[in-house]
Amino acid sequence: MKVVIIGVGLIGGSFAKDVKKLHPEVEIIGVDKSDAHLDEALQLQIIDKKGDYSTLATADLVYLGIPVNVLVTELPKILDAAGDETVVVDAGSTKRLICEQVANHSKRRNFMACHPIAGTEFSGPAAAFEGLYTGKTMIICEVEKTAFKLQEKALAIFQEIGMRIRYMNPEAHDKHIAYVSHLSHISSFMLGKTVIEKEKNERDIFDMAGSGFESTVRLAKSSPDMWTPIFEQNKDNVVETLEEYIQNLTTFKQMILDNDFENVHLEMSNTNKIKQILKGIPLTKK
């Protein structure tokens, strides 16, 4: 089996590690715009050798761990270069625009539009590790547009890794993911911004920061190169979630101003049910 990883950072590199663990005989070829990343991936034994788009014609599976703005422009070229028996899988956090971009491509049947609900705040080859995908959900969009035998090839690997499979349409994916992923990243970035600005005047603020702050602001360490295009591509849904979030913040602020701590307590008590909703979600630890 030959697997090509395009983008050998956290997402692509971790996928490569999981596949290699399951299938030691597999040949992993890395493609990346950064030669330094490829050299590091070779040194870390994430990939077996470097490649380019000419290697796609004989690949069994191509896994795309690249930013969504790059995906939109590169996916048609990748499909052009793919072999008839190659399944091309993306890992983009947005789906509608990506699916639209290749809707009429002659090799649309070779593409499986995916989004693994997995990741950490770190990036680059050194951030990759075995087990990132285990127990996580793989969302697949427009699966009916992927050739059945190519679907089976990708699904078999996902299931071997230990992923749960969920099917959605691209529009529903982008709307829901804006709430459960994109908004949380914005919240983390803005909390970090608020504290950094305050720290200019109060130098000891970080000495007082505990685990609550650390866990809440963790996502602010994520790559702006990856997240800016996500917010751009999912702009309408992100703005809608922000409007609702800002309204909730405004209401909560007003309760405090009004000394209405009975309703402050009630709001938090009602939100405590999130514990049950999130109970089955495994934490990602490297």
Adjacency order of strands within the sheet including 49-50: 49-50, 27-31, 2-6, 61-64, 87-90, 111-116, 137-141, 164-168
Helices (H) and strands (E) in the chain, counts: 12, 8
Considering the chain, what percentage of its residues have pLDDT values greater than 90? 80
Q: How many CB atoms lie within 10 A of CB 144?
A: 7
pLDDT reported for residue 212: 73
Interval 23-37: pLDDT, tens: 999 999 999 999 999
pLDDT reported for residue 143: 97
Interval 123-181: pLDDT, tens: 999 999 999 999 999 999 999 999 999 999 999 999 999 999 999 999 999 999 999 89
Lowest mean pLDDT among 30-34, 136-140, 184-188, 282-286: 282-286
What type of residue is 74?
Answer: E
pLDDT reported for residue 196: 81
Q: Which helix (H) or strand (E) element contains residue 88? A: strand 87-90
Tokens, residue 185: 């990243």
What type of residue is 268?
Answer: M
In order of their start, the domains of the chain are 2-168 (3.40.50.720), 173-280 (1.10.3660.10)
With CA atoms as reference, report the closest residue to 186 among 198, 175, 197, 194. 194
**Would you give the DSSP letter of residue 182?**
I
